[in-house]
Amino acid sequence: MAGKIIADQIEHSTAGSLDTQYVVNGSAKAWVHFDAHGDAAVSGTPISRDSLNVSTIGDDGTGDYTVNFGSNFANGFYASSGTGDHAQYMFCVDPSINPTSSAFAMMFSYQPGAGSDIDIDNVSTIHIGELA
């Protein structure tokens, strides 16, 4: 490591100051972009295109995926958001699998039936919370 600064606040000469707690707590701890449909190399199996702190993406069935984190969260109560490119299908937390410190399960469902999920491309998820 080249060096380390321990500080409670960062101050810019003109733009103001920021408590470093906002840097730590406000930064996304994990995010990913993956494709699971329509690409020549993809056939329902999610492939990560770019990510931060995501080790693997599990294929839980059509339209259902699990993001596995490289470094675990402190608990399962982090905040998550996501979207995909098929406008008729909604991103949601998999109701049968609670988020854990190490993984987040999602599904893309067509309202109102959860039984008609579909594989999606251009999936983006973002996870913000405290790491262990």
- The footprint of another protein (CB under 8 A) covers 1-3, 5-14, 17, 23-24, 27-29, 31-33, 49-50, 52-53, 71, 74, 81-90, 111-112, 122, 124-126, 130-132
Minimal distance, residue 4 CB to another protein, in Å: 9
Minimal distance, residue 58 CB to another protein, in Å: 18
Minimal distance, residue 44 CB to another protein, in Å: 19
46/84 with CB nearer another protein = 84
- What one-character DSSP code corresponds to residue 13? T
Q: Are 105 and 92 in contact (CB under 8 A)?
A: no
Instruction: Measure the N-to-C terminal CA separation of the chain; round to a whole number of Å.
Output: 21
How many other C-beta atoms are found inside a 10 Å radius of the C-beta of residue 104?
26
